[in-house]
Amino acid sequence: MSEREVLLVVHPDRETTREAAREVSARFAKAGIRLRVLDEDVRELLEADGGVGADCTVVGQDGDPAAGAELVFVLGGDGTLLRAAELARPARVPVLGVNLGRVGFLAEADSDALSDTVQRVVDGDYRVEERMTVDVTVSVDGVEVASTWALNEASVEKSSRERVLDALIEVDGRPVSSFGCDGVLCATPTGSTAYAFSAGGPIIWPEVEALLVVPSNAHAMFARPLVVSRDSVITVHIDPDGSPAVLTCDGARHFALPRGASVRVVCGKVPVRLVRLWDGPFTDRLVHKFSLPVKSWRQRHARGGSSPA
């Protein structure tokens, strides 16, 4: 059997993350699983206090650092996991997140289950599911000038706080609505619980194959979120006589958009693979991550006597 390797991606700015990283490295080393890390600073972090950093391979972020790894193990919040997904996607390597941030909706486990999570990886006791992505292209005067992708969302936003973004939304080559706004988000079902949710969009279950369009603070009578087919083509046109804008994908990749630019969003050709440990339905994950109340007001406030009228 070939040697097993895991790429460890961490957010090293918090002490809890550093402690978790050292625990993970020690447990994997004991199980005979080698670690890769992205830079020398992380290796030194793992080596501190008698750790096993010297046994890590520093692979850097250039090229294809996840190629050949069994999975990418992420310690941090959703931002860290999104950065890890960018590394894992070209090699089709699955990503496993342990939440050390706040909500951590993309993470499969919380910090209190860290040891069990590592053991599940050691035992190979996990499954992998694929999540839709979007492919994004930017055109100016009919000429493609940039291309990128996103797991959560592609967001077209005004580049100046003082100005309004004038945008036209097209679906499948047909205009739907134009308005002034702060921005327009094009999200996947995975991204429906992220920025799109904060902007007032609906939550879409991951197994629903669809794309979501959410205007942000639009000055219009009709500016409702749209849920369209995964086969649809969404285009956001920037008014040539209006203000410039900026395209941001997953909060990480930024592109300046001149007046008259068009942003085309379609279902991505390459999905992101996420490790799943637990078989519970998405509904339970939603309730847990957002701490949703599932009991009535009377049940939550009952104190053994009759409830107030």
Active site residue ranges? 78
Contacts 24+ apart (CB under 8 A), 58-63: 59/7, 61/87
d(CA 100, CA 117): 13
Q: For strands 34-37 and 5-10, give the pairing.
A: parallel
- Do 235 and 291 contact (CB within 8 A), yes or no? no
Q: 82: how many CB neighbours lie within 10 A of its CB? A: 24
- For residue 49, give the amino acid letter: D
DSSP 285-304: HHHHHHT---S-HHHHH--S
- Do 191 and 271 contact (CB within 8 A), yes or no? no
Ramachandran angles phi, psi of 181, nearest 5°: -160, 175
Under 8 Å CB-to-CB from 180, ≥6 apart: which residues? Answer: 164, 165, 166, 167, 218, 219, 220
- Do 39 and 53 contact (CB within 8 A), yes or no? no
